[in-house]
Amino acid sequence: MSWTTGTQTECLGANNAVGSALSSFTTAAVMSPVTGAAYLPANFFLPSYGIGKSLWVKASGVLSTTSTPTFGWAVFADSALGTASPANLTSGTAGVLATTGLITQATGTNMPWELEVVITCITTGTSATFLSDGTVKVYTASTSIQSLRMSSSASNPNTTNTIGTGGTTAAWYIELAAACGTSSSSNSIQCYSYICMGLN
């Protein structure tokens, strides 16, 4: 701790239970445990100090598939706990702070996955914008990996997205959601660990 920045890191949410398993679904649904959800009060990103203020989301779990369905991961800013809104992972949709989009997955059972993403406030206010970038890694077998970009846009260079109605003047829960391209009880994803850190 140097106090150079006058800020300190804070764990805004850490799970004390595994998340609910999602299966037989297609639309975006929250999978992070309720107790892990970070709550950001209104104006967490203050007009004066909010720019550059960042979150670090880290999560892991398992994924099972039949055939090769598409799956996607996204970090949402949800106005209601446990409710992913909007119900899609589309890049550029307000509230979808970081997304992989829907990506074809390997066939497997209880494949471990993990993700890390940093989300940074760029502008504050009702039209606040955020830049985010990270990676989802799915360990499709003990010696193979599928990596997916998880970010505020699919563009290169990366571009910002908006947080939703009210922008940074509203309160938000930071949650992890998933969606699947094919509804099947064999297409299942579950979150075992979820933390959200306020970095500064």
Partner 1 sequence: MSWTTGTQTEALGVGTANGSAYNTSTTLTTISPLTGGGYCPANFWLPSYGISKSLLVKASGVLSTTSTPNLTLAIYGDTAQNTPSGTPLATTGAVAQASSVTNVPWELDCVISNVTTGSSGTFLAMGIVKVYTASTTIQSIRISSSSANPNTTTTLSTLSAYYIELAATWGSNSSSNSIQVYSYAVLGLN
Binding site for partner 1 (CB under 8 A): 7-12, 14-18, 21, 35, 39-41, 44, 58, 60-62, 110, 112, 114, 137, 139, 142-145, 190, 192-193, 195, 197-198, 200
When the beta carbons of 40 and 177 are compared against partner 1, the nearer one is: 40
CB-based burial label for 135 (10 Å; 0-12, 13-18, 19+): middle
How near is the Cβ of 191 to partner 1 at its closest, in Å?
Answer: 9
Question: Which amino acid is residue 106, in one-letter code?
Answer: A
Amino acid at 187: N
CB of 35 to partner 1, least distance (A): 6
Nearer residue to partner 1 within complex by CB, 60 or 184:
60
DSSP letter (8 states) at residue 47: T
Scanning 69-118, the segments in alpha helix (DSSP H) are none
**Contact (Cβ atoms closer than 8 angstroms) between residue 92 and residue 85:** no
User: Would you say 2 or 156 has its CB closer to partner 1?
Assistant: 2
Name the residue nearer to partner 1 (CB basis): 56 or 76: 56
Task: Name every residue whose Cβ is closer than 8 Å to that of residue 175 and which is 6 or more positions away in sequence.
Answer: 30, 32, 37, 75, 76, 78, 81, 82, 84
Residue placing its CB nearer to partner 1 in the complex, 18 or 106 = 18
Compute the least distance from the CB of residue 91 to partner 1, in Å: 26
**Closest approach of Cβ 88 to partner 1, in Å?**
26
Please, what is the minimum distance in Å from the beta carbon of residue 143 to partner 1? 5
SS3 category, 148: strand
- The residue to which tokens 């970010």 are assigned: 151
- 19 strand-pairing partners: none
Residue 175, SS3 per DSSP: strand
